[in-house]
Amino acid sequence: MLTASCAGVNLRRFDERPDALDASFQVQFDDFEHLAKSKAELQKLHSALRISFVDHRGLV
């Protein structure tokens, strides 16, 4: 799913528990539109999904 909108995707952390799953990815976007598209697609997966974007080198 992320690879469709991201210029680069790297899994950084994956924690699985019986009641939850936590995953962290380092992603690169070509522009803000791709970031917004990825966020919208991820939010369709589950209503309780939490998404955080952290600026590493400049958001876009």
**Cβ atoms 14, 23 nearer than 8 A:** yes
Q: What is the pLDDT of residue 59?
A: 52
Cα 7 versus chain centre, distance: 12
Question: pLDDT tens digits, residue range 8-49?
Answer: 888 999 999 999 889 998 888 889 999 999 999 989 988 888
**Cβ atoms 29, 5 nearer than 8 A:** yes
Pair of tokens at residue 39: 């966020």
pLDDT at 3 over 70: yes
More confident residue, 31 or 3: 31
Q: Minimal CA–CA distance to 23: which of 34, 31, 32, 15?
A: 15
| Residue 58 binned pLDDT confidence (cut-offs 50, 70, 90) | low
CA pair distance 47, 27, nearest whole angstrom: 22
